[in-house]
Structure 1
């Protein structure tokens, strides 16, 4: 929609991709479509500080600007509202067992391709066929997986306090260059994070408080970006529990989201988490070229 000027769009307070990582990959017409605005608004954004090179923009800047614009009219906002609609589900919908067909493939034939395998068995689920290793040398991994959610009290007052502290920072989830995705310093210095950096930050805060904590990466069923990260921490009752700092940020933006997703007293593992054996810093795919990796996780009728 390019015929109506949207005066609510502003670069004020926005984190812009640093110049050394800026990639001018999006033209003006596409930028206007993504933001639901006209040329005058694009000019106003540029005058306000939006980075432009040869009349082209970094698509990550546009995505972040649209997602946090508050207009409800941008493509990123609408895409997120659609992909996160499941957060409005009941506790049963978040926790009940799900059977899924999982496929991870690379679009190349590199001899050195290494892929992580799903490990829902780490959380009481199942995977068929059972994996012999945590990673395999192959260009494709297929499996039938069964996941199950769990919601349990977070017993430690200190851990609950750390979850509340993170929620109170006012952090925004943003798209970042690969070189910055795990930079936890941006959480406090710029109040922006990816799931990787937020998880690293919270896991470190838990360890600083004397609790055994690590990060975990895997996939989340039904998200735009399927690769996800979260925190595993050992509570006062000796049980290792899941805390997902980014899910709470997302849920806070979804009207009608289930309160379990933002309750700091609850350690929630949704039935949409598919873990690997890897922590943040690991890669679900390693291969020798830049061709993309595709993940498909589809429900199986039972």
Structure 2
């Protein structure tokens, strides 16, 4: 499909949830020409002056099939990681983690009041507070699990969701709005999880939404998945957004893995804490989000180092 044709399958972001990016960023995200961008505007892509709706642009790039857009390139990189480590989705892995947050007032920030990210599995070892910035360093160990779902009701609910919904990048303000997701039939990881959560709870299956982050390269991205009690009494994981993306970018094996199994590339966030920072300089709807980078810590044997 052309970009203009792809625009027809993008579900627009509701006006009250729109966020904006400049034209240079829209061009960079889509990797298109100025002429192509004008054609998209003529076909209905939302533009306000010289600004474009961020999520519409990202979803257009994701679905474009061009192979050159930023969203596609990120997914292709993640696909390489999954392919390269296909036999290593569940092994115990140790990482060095760096987290940071920056005040929009930068060095003019008058406060040194920062709270370390609430990640239950992370051991924070260092904290560095500077004007307008806080940084934390530590370690985390992550392990996955292979599992088979036994309850046929879970399979039915899962299949229904994958057949009826599509993945879309979604504003954080819109993801919790399940009525909107049910109406639009698209959503991000949290939005899709909330729909499946409702369906499983209606069936009497104990289920909870787990927030966290996923490791698809160096940078961690916010993510969410479900954990439920299967009929065999075991706790298992459902990751509908990654299953839908697997249909487009990954493998059938990884799509099936998302149904019951958990990968060693996710880190839990405390479900009682937000992904953004509580900071005196933040007011109203503005938010400062934590950012994270992971680096694998390899053993001497893995690194090719031998003892002398």
Q: Which residue of 2 is the match for residue 114 of structure 1?
A: 115
2:183 to 184, 189, 192: 189
Q: Do structure 1's residue 199 and structure 2's residue 199 form an aligned pair?
A: no
Q: SS at the partner of 1:82?
A: helix
CA distance in 1, matches of 2:39, 2:237: 43
Aligned pair partner of 1:299 in 296, 301, 304: 296
Deviation at residue 112 of structure 1 after TM alignment: 5.0
Unpaired runs of 5+ residues, structure 2, are: 104-108, 126-132, 300-308
Tell me the distance in 2 between the aligned counterparts of 1:139 and 1:79: 27
Q: Deviations over 1:71-103 (max 9, x none)?
A: 222222122211332222454321111110122
Q: Look up the match of 2:264.
A: 271
2:25 maps to 1:34:
no
Distance, in Å, in 2 between the alignment partners of 1:217 and 1:80 is 21
Compared CA separation, residues 291 and 168, structure 1 to 2 (3 A): closer
- The answer on whether the counterparts of 2:242 and 2:258 sit within 8 Å (CA) in structure 1 is no
CA shift, 1:247, in A, is: 1.2
Q: Deviations over 1:5-56 (max 9, x none)?
A: x6665421312222233333212x4433332322332222112111111132
Residue 91 of structure 2 aligns with which residue?
Answer: 96
Q: Distance in 2 between matches of 1:79 and 1:285?
A: 23
- 8 A contact 2:237–2:258 mirrored in 1: no
Could you report, residue by residue, the CA deviation over 1:233-254 in whole angstroms, capped at 9, with x for unpaired residues?
A: 0111111111111110121112
| C-alpha distance after superposition, 1:83-133 (max 9, x if no partner) | 33222245432111111012222224755533443334xxxxxx5469xxx
User: How many residue pairs align between the two structures?
Assistant: 278
**d(CA) in 2 for partners of 1:299 and 1:238?**
33
- Report how far residue 258 of structure 1 moved: 5.6
What 5-or-longer segments of structure 1 have no aligned partner?
1-5, 121-126, 131-137
| 8 A contact 1:218–1:273 mirrored in 2 | yes
**Residues 10 and 249 from structure 1, CA distance in 2 versus in 1: closer, same or farther, beyond 3 angstroms?**
closer
Greater Cα shift, 102-111 or 55-64: 102-111
C-alpha distance in 1, partners of 2:173/2:3? 33
Residue aligning to 2:302: none
Give me the CA root mean square deviation. Answer: 2.6
The residue number in structure 1 matching 2:305 is none
SS at match of 2:190: helix
Which residue is equivalent to 1:155? 150
Deviations 1:267-298 (A, max 9, x none): 1100111113316xx41333222445321211
Structure 1's 24 and 273: CA in aligned 2 closer, same or farther, altered over 3 A?
A: closer
Distance, in Å, in 1 between the alignment partners of 2:79 and 2:115 is 30
Q: How does 1:62-81 map to 2 (within 5 A)?
A: 62-81=57-76
